[in-house]
Structure 1
Amino acid sequence: MGGSQTQRQEPERQVSAEFADLVCEMLAPLGPVTARRMFGGHGLYLDGRMFGLIADEVLYFKTDDGNRSAYESAGMGPFKPFADKPMIMPYHEVPAEMLDESEALCAWARPAIEAAARAAAPKLGRNRT
């Protein structure tokens, strides 16, 4: 078989890592955004909270009632980890044109970061007995 043996990553994983690095670089004005490998993709973190993910070279941001309508208005669907199962997760695809410039991407990321903070906040009124 041909191909370089010095290549440490499979081409698909390398592209994914490069895309994750690019997204982190574009989001740098928001703070120290990091990407961690998970389940064949990457999770995007700021201040220890996951606010985005990359799967199959597609960027998704965290959504809740506070920001979901912007994604729906743009025609962007939720992240479905399994094509053959109805399960969806609270992340929506980011419009591709937002990846054209850092400022636009950061504008979409801010509400996702806020959604991640809301999800991590302690819930009031829950009694554990």
Structure 2
Amino acid sequence: MAADEGLVDWVSEAMEPVGRVTKRAMMGGATLYCDGTIFAIVASGGGLWLKADAESDALWDEAGCDRFTYDMNGKIGSMNYRRAPDDVYDDADELRRWALLALDAGRRAPKKAPPRRTARAAARGRSRG
């Protein structure tokens, strides 16, 4: 099942005053970025999930927003995303309010190190030069 393109379009439109939203396909869904910072996912089963972290968890808990969980071969895992409150689907101001909280969490997240090159790949790169 593919990501809900209408939902992706809605998020992009609502976030225009903040920045440019882009998407990247992810396991049937989509990861959303605002000006290059990850802030949300649109799950293949539907729904918008916004980035959270230890600093914002209390606000998500207070709003009753469930944590994103998944089943990996019978083992339940979770990610630092929370189900978006119901009012974000029809109120652009509310979507931006929660998405800005998620965007802040995305900005605070540790940056991933670039993949390390293997000795073989490094040798191939030198031989082409």
TM-score (norm 2): 0.76
1:72 aligns to what?
Answer: 61
1:52-110 CA distances to partner (integer Å, 9 max, x unpaired)? Answer: 10112210111012211111111111111327432100000011112221111101111
Counterpart secondary structure, 1:110: helix
Q: Which residue does 2:107 correspond to in 1?
A: 117
Aligned residues: 110
Aligned-CA RMSD value = 1.9
1:42 and 1:91 mapped to 2: Cα distance? Answer: 13
In structure 2, list runs of 5 or more residues that go unmatched: 113-129
**1:41 Cα deviation after fit:** 0.5
Give the corresponding residue for 1:57. 46
Q: What is the CA–CA distance in structure 2 between the aligned matches of 1:27 and 1:57, rounded to whole Å?
A: 19
Structure 1 spans left out of the alignment, 5+ residues = 1-11, 123-129
Residue 28, structure 1, aligned to residue 20, structure 2: no
Q: TM-score, normalised by structure 1?
A: 0.76
- The aligned counterpart of 2:89 is 99
